[in-house]
Structure 1
């Protein structure tokens, strides 16, 4: 049985946050409502800590990066408004995840800043974590950032190591795969327009709805480069952590109101007693 009390695939577009929605609140309203529901369900599961898989944290080329500072602090600004956030890090779990990954032959590192402990031991909290955590219960976290230098298979295997570490932990753990999808939906966006964006997002939606997350590892590299998603790597870690026979996915919403796609999905798990 899977050890996670709750898991989800959630986006990190800043305007999802009510404080940052600006003058066009309807632009991400569907996603915002889905995030509120995911937050309610995470809270109902009463996790003691939450693991966030974020593509925008501290990156180490060729290694999985796991926060091991005492604290994380960060902010995000959109529409002339700013949200700030501070989180404690569940360091014992971070170290267990790293130890398990290394034991299984995966390139993984825990990271810190300043001092080994104390008030200066603080890393940047990125928007890939800030946005979904805005809707979640206020508990300690572990933020993990994958590396795109590593193979999709290594991401699946890292998920298996994550699962094993959580299964050995004596606290209740939630899991968020923080994912935005194709970033080439709009000619006026920073990455321009490519028809691959619509195609990739449609395929991602279908694979999530049919509980076939592992098949994202089959996406062609040129197709990925054209569409520019940032959700595949975190989704594959989640897939390794919660195998298909132990998960049921409730798809909540998809929209691409600006230049990038947003998906919300609840991952229901059969968990250990």
Structure 2
């Protein structure tokens, strides 16, 4: 059974948010429309909590990182615009997820800061979380950051353990895999150009369209290093959380407006 009321793969380029793209609001307009569509689906699903998987949070080498502070706060400021976000954390679900994953033999770091509870118990929200959450309902969150030092297979197992914790909680939970894709599309970008970027993104588009997220496990390590995606690990957690037989996908969009690929897809209960 799929315990999630709604799940999606989203990008996290800051200029998806119109307030942060004032120099060229049309730059990521296609993706912005897709994000608005995903946000409408999530609001319609009425989640009590949203689990957000981000590659840019507090990383712990060799462990899955689960934020368990009282709340999380972050700011994004670009092109004269600014977005501020403060979200409560569903600490009960965060603890249950960690307990379930550890019972499966997975290495998990549960993170807090400053005080055990109260207003000072606050961890940062990164752009990988702020951008997708900007389009979503304002409900408590659980933020998870995977580790690239952990096997692909372990990411599937973590997703399955996470789903078990969600099912046992009795809560209505949404799931977001925050994923940008190949970062080597443009020679003028910070990571330069590599032909692997377009090839990897094309394969990912097909894998998502066909609900075969597990197919990303077959990517060669050098191929991944050349293309420089940051979405594989979060997608595999989603795959472990929602088995392929239970996924119906709506692929919304793909574009490369700058140096990295942006994709949006919704997953519904079959």
The equivalent of 1:89 in structure 2 is 89
The equivalent of 1:151 in structure 2 is 151
Find the aligned partners of 1:139 and 1:26 in 2 and give their Cα distance: 29
Find the aligned partners of 1:145 and 1:3 in 2 and give their Cα distance: 21
Find the aligned partners of 2:75 and 2:93 in 1 and give their Cα distance: 24
Find the aligned partners of 1:13 and 1:249 in 2 and give their Cα distance: 22
CA shift digits 1:119-161 (9 cap, x unpaired)? 1100001110000000000000000000000000000110000
Displacement, 1:76? Answer: 1.2
Q: How do 1:186-225 and structure 2 match up within 5 A?
A: 186-225=186-225
The answer on 1:233 being equivalent to 2:233 is yes
Find the aligned partners of 1:107 and 1:234 in 2 and give their Cα distance: 16
Q: How do 1:30-179 and structure 2 match up within 5 A?
A: 30-179=30-179
Runs (4+) of structure 1 exceeding 2 A deviation are none
Q: Aligned with 1:259: secondary structure?
A: coil
Displacement, 1:23? Answer: 2.0
Find the aligned partners of 1:200 and 1:122 in 2 and give their Cα distance: 37
CA shift digits 1:97-136 (9 cap, x unpaired)? 0000000000012100001011110000111000000000
Q: Aligned with 1:27: secondary structure?
A: coil
Query: Please, which runs of 5 or more residues in structure 1 have no aligned partner?
Result: none
Displacement, 1:78? Answer: 1.9
Displacement, 1:178? Answer: 0.2
Find the aligned partners of 1:23 and 1:61 in 2 and give their Cα distance: 37
Q: Aligned with 1:41: secondary structure?
A: helix
Find the aligned partners of 1:134 and 1:220 in 2 and give their Cα distance: 34
Find the aligned partners of 1:106 and 1:93 in 2 and give their Cα distance: 17
Give the number of equivalent residue pairs. Answer: 270
User: When the two structures are superposed, what TM-score results if normalisation uses the length of structure 1?
Assistant: 0.98
CA shift digits 1:57-92 (9 cap, x unpaired)? 000000000010000000112223221100000000
Query: Please, which runs of 5 or more residues in structure 2 have no aligned partner?
Result: none
